[in-house]
Structure 1
């Protein structure tokens, strides 16, 4: 039986303790098939770290079942978040889920799992929580006398249509409440479960209460499996655009993230295929590597693209002023420097060629909001 030895380090002013834990060791890929990452990196708040050592038990461990998804309810204290970033056009958002089973290796939201004392690695895609009282909290917010209507982005941090939504139907119930109150809502997703809710989306669209964009990172199915293993296929996402057009929604396409020397050469072909499938507007975001994500992404590159890993990171750093990531508003999503300028020029030419150069998101109706009567409401004689 092998052991795991914790390495002593300093982080955020707190000394990390050194302990020795005895356990079976596991090679990174042994039982994580279908997951985006193959290990749990310590979060930036962890007070101890560990290193696996191969003890020769690998053949026996290979027979273990695949790593399952853990799902737990969370009682949220609030449900609508206020966004202060000028890079994001919508100022209000709701995130029904923490963590995301899609397992996208590049997800900028991974570091947020550290606030739950969990790893941004495998924990982010296997140890999820959902806000079980989300619908009740949102209705409570809507019924406040001083509530001011603004469009709400649904699932801006983690995907509201990730696989667990098929069972929980939390996003659907939130949309049903939006429809009942005639409240405008915006969606950005790569989850095919969206097609289950076409009936609600159509009813919202008839009242100009919804905008939808589909995220497409690659048209290459093999790269999709490596980079975002539990997402819908490229073909399925193009079909989502077509189905949305059929019910009266003019969808957008988001090419995100653009990763130099990995998928950047697909920019024009993604926009062309998306326009042909029904997209009417487009956007893009370059790769962002905040906090632990810079280490996780490097590990993924070393595993899947070792021959070009250094070149990819060199170009990424060129986009962010010589760093792995520059969080400055106005720069973090589009980058800076010669490579960023080239991307911007290529994007501008492609959207003009394919008729995707509409300005921004559609203006949704904020004037139709109403409060349906509920049992216990007070009525006043006039």
Structure 2
């Protein structure tokens, strides 16, 4: 199966899963080009699912708390309850946001898909498209599916006795809730990855013009830069729609990473106090470590994919500089200078409500903040429970 088929298959899985969960009131129509459509039935289905979730989920979450994930210490129990409350609020808020923004989201995604299909048809984009498919496979197959399933399996392997049916049912519900949140992450990332694919194809196409004649460069430079401007505009529109979900996702994964580290600490200290920490107990920690790795990779993707888009967009300026050095006519030189000036004046950074830029430097701030909160929790735990 070639890269086109893999990417199409994974994209369709994502769109259908979001629609089935009632969080995405758009139906993807495959073809060439593929596009999204909205109907009254899909909107009513999503509204009904949102109402059903708002009414029925609290009882399910109480069962999850009582039979599945009640902590060993009061602090752990409070964190589990807080986690369930955030899941509930996240689903309600994001579902309502997606329903309100369904028309603008449909137009933006359709424009991105149409622009991508035009580029794939006219240009040789095998390199950027291969990278897009590899990122998609890594995120959806390895991180989302394999790592999460491994974490769940290791949870049951680490149990001293066979779990009850109630425990299994509540655990499955908890995993489904978590995966729905992961699907929102994928919606955000796929939109940006399509923009990265388009920008990478633009850069590749421009690099082919460095050694060509000025007549050939001038005839296509206008078109290439118009595609770049359209792609940049669509990225801004997409982020305007996804600002609230992304802000909630960052808060969610921050809390979950802090909670995961605290849980690993309390479990380790409990085993040490029992003097029962041996090689056979390593299996008990594979669940916690794998789930912690799953959370870290999710947050890493949320931060680095926007950073990759910013880097690809800024890379265009250096390519245009190389092209300008090959220009001999005054007209071509002035054209490249105007385009470079416009590029330098643009802000390619992906921001979340303008509060912070989503780049790699954000990771250092997250690590420092997580460390501070973990230290506070550990100190509180030592004072309260010894």
Provide TM-score, normalisation by structure 1: 0.22
Q: Which has the higher helix share?
A: 2
Q: Which has the larger radius of gyration?
A: 2
- TM-score, L = length of structure 2: 0.22
